[in-house]
Amino acid sequence: MLLELRDITKVYRVGVETIHALRGVSLGIDRNEFVAVMGSSGSGKSTLMNVLGCLDRPTAGEYRLTGQLVSRMGAAELARIRNEQIGFVFQSFELLPRQTALQNVELPLIYAREGIWGWRSRRRRAIEALTRVGLASRMTHRPNQLSGGQKQRVAIARAILNRPAILMADEPTGNLDSATTLDILALFRQLHAEGQTVIIVTHEDDVAAHCKRVIRLRDGQILSDLPIEKDQAGRFVDDVNERQRQRAAARQTPPARTGEAAAC
Amino acid sequence: MLNPLFYLQAIGLAIAQIWANKARSALTTLGIIVGVASVTAVIATLMGLKTKVLTEFESFGASKIFIFPNRPDNAPRNLYPWEEIRLKPHEVLAIAEGAPSVKAITPITEIGMTVESDDARLEGLSIVGIWPDWHQCERRGILFGRPFTQIDVDQARQVCVVNEAAIKELKLENDPVGEHILLGGRRFLIVGVVETIQSMMFGMSANKSEIFVPFSVAEKLQDKFFFMRCSALVKSPELSDEAKSEIRFILRRERGLGAGEPDTFAVEAIDQYISQFKALAASVTAIAGGIVGISLLVGGIGIMNIMLVSVSERTREIGLRKAVGATPAAILMQFLLEAVTLCLAGGFVGVAIGQSLAFGLTKIPNAGLEKAEVPLWAVAMSFGFCAIVGVLFGMFPAIKAARLDPIEALRHE
Ligand SMILES: Nc1ncnc2c1ncn2[C@@H]1O[C@H](COP(=O)(O)OP(=O)(O)OP(=O)(O)O)[C@@H](O)[C@H]1O
Ligand SMILES: [Mg+2]
C-alpha cells in the first residue's frame, strides 16, 4: 500500500457548533492508481484531500504514507513530506503572479532538503516538467499572460517537479471550460500511464469517468468505492461523439451514480 | 537546514517586494533614514572637530606644560590658604634655573584696565604680564618692532606689545611701533606687534584685543596676592614627563611640603587636555548614539507595521509556499530577511544622505569643519543597528506568518 487511512475523523469547531467533516474514513491506495473522489457539496471531499495531501491533520485516526505515520507528525515534518512526496493541484491554480511560469514551477526546489543541485540542473528539471505538460513555449510568461488551461498546466508541472509519490488535484477543472477540461484530463491520464499515482476530487461524472476507481463520500463517510470498467473509460476519451452518447447512457445505467448526477 | 538556494531567492524576493512597493517602502523606512542620516552627520561633525582640535594641539606642541595653583582635593580652605598655594615669582625663577629639561618658562598674569589711545578708549581690557620667553612658549613671534628684552623686565620699563586687533580697536596706525598709549592712566611705549594665531580651543581669536607688558610691570600694578600661572616649553616632547617631575620636585622643595603632604599646585602637559577632549568627544558620541537609538526604535515600529500588512496581503502566497513544502522556519526566515533588507535599504539611503550632509559641512566657511567625514566604523555601526532593528521588529510579523495554517492561508481572500 502506498497510503493507508484508518478510521480518520475530522471535527471542526465553529463557535459552539461542532462539524463532523469526516467520520471514520478508512481506505487504502496503491502505487499507480488513478482515483476519483466524488460526493455532493459539503460531503468532505476537500477535507479528505487535505488530510491525504498532508496539508491538514486529522482529529483522530491513523494515516500512513509510504510506511510513515504521517498523522503524528509536526508542522515541519509535514512540510518536508509535502515537498518530497506530494504534488498538489488547486482549483484556482495558485500561481505567484509576479513570477514567470518557469519560476513558479521551480518553487518546490527552493524548499528541497537535498539542497542546491546547481542552477543548471534546477532549470533543466523545471524545463523538463514544463515540457511534459506541453508549455515549453510559454516558460517566460507570467500568469496574467496565460489562459486558464495553461495556468493549470503550470500548476501541474509544479506539482510533478519533485517526482511526488502522489499527485493530488482538488477540482482541477472546476474553473475551466469543457474543451480545456479534456486537455487537462488527458494530461492526468498521460501522467498516470507513465506510472504516476493520481487522486482527483470532482463533481462531474465525465471527469470521474477518466479514472480507474471512484470513491464516493456522503456526510463524511465512504458511500461506495468501486473500480470503473477499463474499456468504458477508454471509450470515453477516444471519440467525441461516442463520449456524448456514453454520457447520456451513463446517467441512466449505473444506479449508484444517479443521486450525484442529479445533484450536479 | 535551509539550502543556499532558499536564501538567494528570499533576498531576491525581498528586493523585488521593496521595489514593487517603492513609495510605501520609502515612507516606511523614513524613520530609519532620518535616524541614520542624522547620526552619521553628527559623527562626521565630531570627527571633523576632533581632527581639527588634535592637529591644533599638535601644532601647539606636545612639549608644552602648564603650571597653576591648585588646592588639593577635598582639603579645607583654612589648611591651604590662598597666599600659600598661589604661584610666586621666586618659584618660577627657581624652576627656570633648576629644571634642566625646561627650555623656556614664563609667568602669566592678567589685570583688567582702561586703555586709551589718542582716538579711542577701551574699558576693562585685560593686560597680560609676561617674560620674554613667552614668545617661545606660545610660539607667537613679533611682526613689527621687537619683543621684550630682559632689560625691559629687570628695569620694569613702561613698554608694551599689542596685537592687530588691539591696533584696530584703538585706532592706531598700521605700524604703531613708537606710539604711546595709556594703560590705567600711565604712558606706555609700543615696542612691537605680536602675531595672532587662530585657535578655537583656547579662546584666542583674531578679533580679540591683546596688550602685553613686562611681567615686572604687571606685578607692580597687581594686588598683593595676585593670581599667576606659568607656561613652560620642554626641550623635546619625550622629556615632557621628566620636566613635569623636575618642576614638581622644585615646587615641593620651595614650598617645604613634607613626604605625606599633597601637591598644592598642578603641573599638566598638553596630552592631558587631549585625553580630556577625547573623553568629551566620546560622551557626545554616546549621546548621539542614544538619539539614533530612539529614532531607530520609531523606525522599527514602522517596519513592524508594514511587515504585518505585507504578511496579511500575502497570506495566500504563504499558504501556497507551505503547500509546496516551505517549513515554518523557512517562512519565518523569509519574512525576517525581508524586514532586514528593508531596514538595510533605509540605512543605505540614510548613510548616503549623512555622507552628503557631512560633505556639505566641510564647505561651510569658518565653521572649522573642513575635516568632517564619516568614518568607516560609523557606516558599519549604522548597518549593524539597522539589521538588528530589522530582526527585532520583523520577528513578530514573521512568527505570525510562520504560524499560519496552510489550508486557512490558502482559503484567505
Ligand atoms: N475550516 C473549516 N471550519 C469549519 N467547517 C469547515 C471547515 N472546512 C470545511 N468545513 C465543513 O466541513 C464540511 C466538509 O467540507 P469540504 O470542504 O470537505 O466539502 P467538499 O466536499 O469539498 O465540498 P465542495 O464540493 O463544495 O467543495 C462542510 O460541512 C464544511 O462546512
Ligand atoms: Mg471542496
**C-alpha dihedral, B12 to B15 to B21 to B23, nearest 10°:** -170
Q: How far is the CA of A73 from the centre of ligand 2 (A)?
A: 24
For residue B313, report the distance from its CA to the centre of ligand 1, in Å.
24
What pLDDT digit, counting tens, does each position of A41-94 carry? Answer: 999 999 999 999 999 999 999 999 998 999 889 999 999 999 999 999 999 999
How far, in Å, CA of A216 to CA of A198, rounded?
Answer: 16
Q: Do B328 and A80 touch (CB under 8 A)?
A: no
Measure B28 CA to nearest chain A CA, in Å. 22
Q: Is residue A110 part of a domain?
A: yes
Can you tell me the ipTM of this complex?
A: 0.86
Distance from CA of A197 to the nearest CA of B (A): 18
> B312 vs B300, B306, B317, B329, CA distance in Å?
19, 10, 10, 18
CB B210 within 8 A of CB B165: yes
Quote the number of domains for chain B. Answer: 2
Task: Give the pLDDT confidence score for residue A28 in this predicted structure.
Answer: 95
From ligand 2's centre to the CA of A213, what distance in Å? Answer: 19
- Angle, CA of B396, B397 and B398, to the nearest 5°: 90
Nearest Cα of chain A lies from the Cα of B57 at a distance, in angstroms, of: 59
Write the CB contacts of B277 (distance below 8 Å, at least 6 apart in sequence). B50, B53, B54, B57
How far apart, in whole angstroms, are the C-alpha atoms of residue A66 and residue A30?
Answer: 10
Instruction: Give pLDDT, residue A116.
Output: 56
Nine cell digits for residue B71:
588646592
Mutate which of A9, A43, A49, A170 for ligand 1 pocket (most atoms within 8 A of beta carbon): A43
Inside any domain, residue A147: yes
How far is C-alpha A40 from the chain's CA centre?
A: 17
Q: Are residues B198 and B290 in the same domain?
A: no
- pLDDT on residue B85: 87
d(CA A157, CA A105): 6
Cβ B4–A122 below 8 Å, yes or no? Answer: no
Within 13 Å and on the Cβ side, how many CA atoms surround B31?
21
B28 and B151 housed in the same domain: no
Residue type, A198: V
B65 lies in some domain: no
Instruction: For residue A223, tell me if it sits in a domain.
Output: yes
Report the number of distinct structural domains present in chain A. Answer: 1
Q: The dihedral of CA A99, A165, A217, A233: what is its sign?
A: positive
Structural domain contains residue B272: no
Ligand nearest to the CA of A170: 2
- Name which of B389, B377, B313 is nearest B351 in CA terms: B377
Radius of gyration of the CA atoms of chain B, in A = 33
Residue nearest to atom 5 of ligand 1 (CA): A12
Residue from B7, B9, B318, B327 whose CB has the most chain A CBs within 10 Å, to mutate: B327
Q: How far is the CA of A21 from the centre of ligand 1 (A)?
A: 6
Record: contact B320-A50, CB cut-off 8 A: no
Using a CB–CB cut-off of 8 Å, the residues of B that contact A are 3-6, 9, 16, 20, 316-317, 319-330, 405-407, 410
Clarify whether residues B224 and B91 are in a common domain: yes
Say yes or no: B10 and B118 in one domain. no
Residue A53 to residue A55: CA distance in whole angstroms: 5
Cell readout for B401 is 506568518
What is the pLDDT at residue B383?
92
Do the bridges between strand B211-214 and strand B121-130 make them parallel or antiparallel, or are there none, so unpaired? parallel
Chain-centre distance for alpha carbon A11: 23
The segments of chain A whose pLDDT lies below 70 read 114-119, 229-264
Domain span at residue B100 reads 71-263
Q: Let me know: does B69 contact B87? Beta carbons within 8 Å.
A: yes
State which residues form the domain around A95.
Answer: 31-50+74-233
Question: Could you list the pLDDT tens digit for every one of the 413 residues in chain B?
Answer: 577 778 888 898 899 888 988 999 999 999 899 888 988 888 888 888 877 777 766 665 667 888 999 888 777 777 888 888 899 989 999 999 999 999 999 999 999 999 999 888 988 888 999 999 998 888 888 988 999 999 999 999 999 999 988 898 899 888 899 999 999 889 999 999 998 765 544 444 556 788 999 999 999 888 888 899 999 998 887 788 889 899 999 999 999 888 888 888 998 887 666 777 778 878 887 887 787 788 888 889 999 999 999 999 999 999 999 999 999 999 999 999 999 999 999 999 999 999 999 888 888 877 667 777 888 988 998 899 899 999 999 999 999 999 999 999 999 87
Give yes or no for a contact between A180 and A193, defined as CB atoms under 8 angstroms apart.
no
Q: Is residue A114 in some structural domain?
A: yes
